[in-house]
């Protein structure tokens, strides 16, 4: 942890320096006035910094009403008291899992549409590489000349009649703009019981560096020819409570996505690093309802799963889920919930073309707990906001979601970083939830990590 403390001191020093020279620094404890800036303000005030290709700038508020036979309207709050009168319409615009969660007390605030663009630098790479991507016979993403993918969205337009539409849409989600590295240096995992009570809190950090398909930070598009076969390295470690402090996992994801991940775990009680099997990516993370394999609704080697496109249709999504900054541990600010802390009470906004995909593992070694996941990739933004997971008997088991605040305002938070308030999992069978509150002020893109930091040596160092 000494290394971590030194890094934090350096981060604070760097932030002060940036404030002096540029007047902009990520805040730790925000004032109420700073926190009341919606996640779309930076985009609306700086449209020249963003690329809006592939999405409408506006959608009439009446479109939600038209799609729901007049039953769902912007400004409406859907609750357990009115959900049965709109059951079929709500399931069509969301999923069976969302309907069940509302029946059990979740509330949905229907809000107007907002576009979700990408920074212009990323959009320029997408346009420069347009038409170069192919899916190889083994299910991997390559350029037409046989190289690993070089950056940007590989298939910006996906024809739903294409037999490869499902896997192409998901590769778009895999390569969505996430910076060339990122840190979530302040994640609280809450274990929420059936009555909405908080049973346990785990504090953790999640870091990742992309070694290929780099668009922003030099060196790019590949960090080093010696590591060109690695897509990303990822480090997740627990900071609290004391009985779990130091537990961590390290993952190497390969560009050859028919290959299993190399994954390692540090067990503090044993004081040793242990190699994990690929299927253990779906083990409950430190006893929560979520697993590392559930990140971003499904985080797996793509070629080891089947991807079937079910439909392309408008959906209510959780882009710009909050109109103000919520997650900030220093200010003790959290987003609103219902049934205690069990369900997030968020904005839901229409997205015009969501690719609904059925993903199934090719073998039990790839995932021995789910028979399938039905998940989303939002055309144009290509983010995934929701997945319903089914157990081996085909029964609805879990719903995983990402709740997105938006981009920074360019003053308190980085304009070209986007922020999630919550990675959330609800277990329908146990009536139990695990929201992962991602502290917005402690989340950063394009930090400048080096690959050496993502190693078993560092995994052990963080564990001590």
Q: State residue 4's pLDDT score.
A: 38
C-alpha to C-alpha distance for 203 and 186, rounded to whole angstroms? 7
Both tokens assigned to 456: 């078993």
Mean pLDDT of all residues in 28-34: 73
152 and 38 co-located in one domain: yes
d(CA 406, CA 220): 26
pLDDT on residue 442: 83
* CATH of residue 393: 2.50.20.10
pLDDT tier for residue 81 given thresholds of 50, 70 and 90: very high
DSSP assignment of 227-246: GTTEEEEEEEEEEESTTTTT
Residues 41 and 66 in one domain: no
Helix/strand/coil (H/E/C) assignment for every residue in 410-452: CCCCCCCCEEEEEEEEEECCCCEEEEEEECHHHEEECCCCCHH
Cα–Cα nearest to 314, from 36, 93, 14, 90:
93
Asked whether the beta carbons of 250 and 233 are under 8 A apart, the reply is yes
Check whether residue 102 and residue 29 sit in a common domain.
Answer: no
Identify the residue with better confidence: 362 or 335: 362
Which tens digits make up the pLDDT trace of 16-27?
A: 333 333 333 344
Q: Report how many helices (DSSP H) and strands (DSSP E) the chain contains, helices first.
A: 9, 22
The domain containing residue 48 runs over which residues? Answer: 1-59+113-464
The CB-based long-range contact list for 27-30 (8 Å cut-off, 24+ gap) reads: 27/412, 27/413, 27/441, 28/328, 28/330, 28/441, 28/442, 29/328, 29/330, 29/331, 29/441, 30/325, 30/328, 30/331, 30/333, 30/412, 30/441
Q: Is the peptide bond before 221 cis (omega within 30 degrees of 0)?
A: yes
Residues 117 and 104 in one domain: no
The partner residues of 78 in beta bridges, in order of sequence, read 108
pLDDT of residue 280: 80
Are 106 and 131 found together in one domain?
no
State both tokens at 173: 């989600």
Residue 462 has pLDDT above 70, yes or no: yes
For the chain, what is the domain count? 2
Averaged pLDDT, 337-350: 97
Please give the helix or strand (H or E) that residue 50 lies within, else none. Answer: strand 50-51
Rounded Cα gap, residues 422 and 204, in angstroms:
14
CA 227: distance to chain centroid?
25
Helix (H, G, I), strand (E, B) or coil at 66: helix
Q: Same domain, yes or no, for 32 and 104?
A: no
**Confidence (pTM):** 0.91
Task: Compute CA distances 200 → 44, 240, 331, 424, whole Å.
Answer: 39, 11, 20, 15
Report pLDDT for 334.
83
Contact by Cβ (8 Å): 311, 376? no
Per-residue pLDDT, 333: 75
Q: Are residues 435 and 459 in the same domain?
A: yes
Say what the pLDDT of residue 32 is.
77
Please tell me the total number of residues recorded for the chain in this structure: 464
Residues 364 and 381 in one domain: yes
b/e 157-188 (16+ beta carbons within 10 angstroms → b): ebeeeeebbbbbbbbbbbbbbbbbbbbbbbbb
Question: Which residues of 70-180 form beta strands (DSSP E)?
Answer: 77-78, 108-111, 118-119, 133-135, 141-143
Q: Are residues 79 and 200 in the same domain?
A: no
Say what percent of the chain tops pLDDT 70. Answer: 92
Q: HSE of 32 in the Cβ direction (CA atoms, 13 Å)?
A: 0
Residues 6+ apart with CB under 8 A from 257: 139, 140, 141, 231, 301, 302, 303, 304
**Residue 227 corresponds to which tokens in the numbers above?**
């590591």
The C-alpha torsion from 317 through 319 and 321 to 323, rounded to 10°, is -140
Look-up of token digits 């697993």: 291
Average pLDDT in the chain: 91
Please compute the mean of the pLDDT values over residues 230-257 and round it to a whole number. 95
- Mean pLDDT of all residues in 396-417: 93
Shared domain for 69 and 217, answered yes or no, is: no
Whether 306 shows a pLDDT value over 60: the answer reads yes
Confidence class for position 28, pLDDT limits 50, 70, 90: low
Look at 81-90, 109-118, 418-427 and tell me which has the smallest mean pLDDT. Answer: 418-427
Q: What distance in Å separates the CA atoms of residue 425 and residue 288, rounded to the nearest whole number?
A: 9
Structure tokens at 31: 């004032």
Least confidently predicted of 93-107, 139-153, 201-215, 438-452: 438-452
Same domain, 238 and 363: yes
Residue 65 has pLDDT above 60, yes or no: yes
Q: What is the pLDDT of residue 331?
A: 67
Looking at residue 464, what is its pLDDT? 61
Q: Is the pLDDT of residue 164 over 80?
A: yes
Q: Is the pLDDT of residue 318 over 90?
A: yes
Are 107 and 140 in the same domain? no
Given CA atoms 358, 435, 346, 185 in this order, what sign does their dihedral have? Answer: negative
pLDDT in tens, 269-285: 888 999 987 668 888 88
pLDDT per residue over 171-190, tens digit each? 999 999 999 999 998 899 99
Least confident of 100-114, 192-206, 408-422: 408-422
In percent, the amount of the chain with pLDDT more than 90 equals 78
């Amino acid at each position: 942890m000494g290394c971590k403390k030194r890094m934090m001191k350096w981060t604070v020093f760097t932030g002060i320096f940036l404030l002096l020279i540029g007047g902009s620094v990520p805040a730790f404890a925000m004032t109420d006035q700073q926190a009341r800036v919606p996640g779309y303000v930076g985009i609306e005030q700086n449209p020249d910094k963003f690329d809006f290709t592939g999405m409408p700038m506006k959608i009439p508020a009446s479109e939600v009403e038209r799609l729901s036979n007049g039953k769902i309207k912007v400004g409406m709050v859907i609750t357990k008291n009115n959900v049965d009168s709109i059951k079929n319409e709500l399931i069509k615009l969301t999923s069976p899992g969302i309907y069940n969660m509302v029946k059990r007390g979740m509330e949905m605030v229907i809000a107007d549409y907002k576009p979700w663009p990408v920074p212009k630098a990323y959009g320029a790479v997408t346009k420069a590489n347009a038409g170069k991507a192919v899916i190889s016979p083994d299910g991997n993403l390559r350029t037409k000349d046989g190289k690993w993918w070089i950056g940007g969205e590989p298939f910006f337009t996906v024809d739903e009649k294409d037999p490869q539409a499902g896997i192409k849409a998901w590769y778009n989600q895999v390569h969505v703009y996430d910076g060339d590295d990122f840190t979530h240096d302040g994640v609280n995992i809450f274990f929420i019981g059936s009555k909405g009570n908080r049973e346990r809190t785990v504090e953790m950090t999640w870091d990742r560096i992309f070694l290929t398909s780099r668009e922003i930070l030099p060196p790019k598009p590949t960090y080093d020819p010696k590591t060109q076969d690695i897509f990303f390295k990822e480090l997740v470690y627990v900071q609290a409570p004391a009985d779990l402090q130091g537990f961590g996992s390290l993952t190497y994801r390969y560009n050859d996505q028919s290959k299993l991940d190399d994954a390692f775990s540090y067990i503090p009680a044993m004081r040793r690093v242990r190699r994990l099997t690929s299927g253990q990516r779906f083990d409950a993370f430190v006893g929560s309802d979520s697993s590392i394999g559930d990140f971003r609704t499904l985080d797996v080697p793509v070629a080891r799963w089947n991807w079937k496109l079910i439909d392309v249709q408008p959906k209510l999504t959780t882009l710009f889920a909050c109109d103000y900054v919520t997650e900030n541990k220093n200010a003790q600010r959290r987003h609103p919930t219902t049934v205690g802390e069990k369900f997030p009470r968020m904005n839901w906004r229409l997205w015009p073309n969501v690719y609904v995909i059925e993903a199934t593992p090719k073998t039990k070694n790839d995932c021995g707990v789910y028979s399938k996941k039905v998940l989303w990739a939002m055309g144009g933004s290509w983010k995934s906001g929701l997945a319903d997971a089914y157990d081996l008997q085909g029964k609805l088991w879990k719903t995983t979601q990402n709740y997105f605040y938006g981009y920074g305002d360019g003053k308190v938070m980085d304009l070209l970083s986007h922020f999630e308030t919550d990675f959330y999992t609800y277990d329908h069978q146990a009536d139990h939830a695990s929201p992962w509150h991602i502290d917005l002020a402690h989340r950063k893109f394009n930090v400048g990590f080096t690959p050496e930091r993502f190693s078993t040596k560092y995994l052990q160092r963080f564990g001590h």
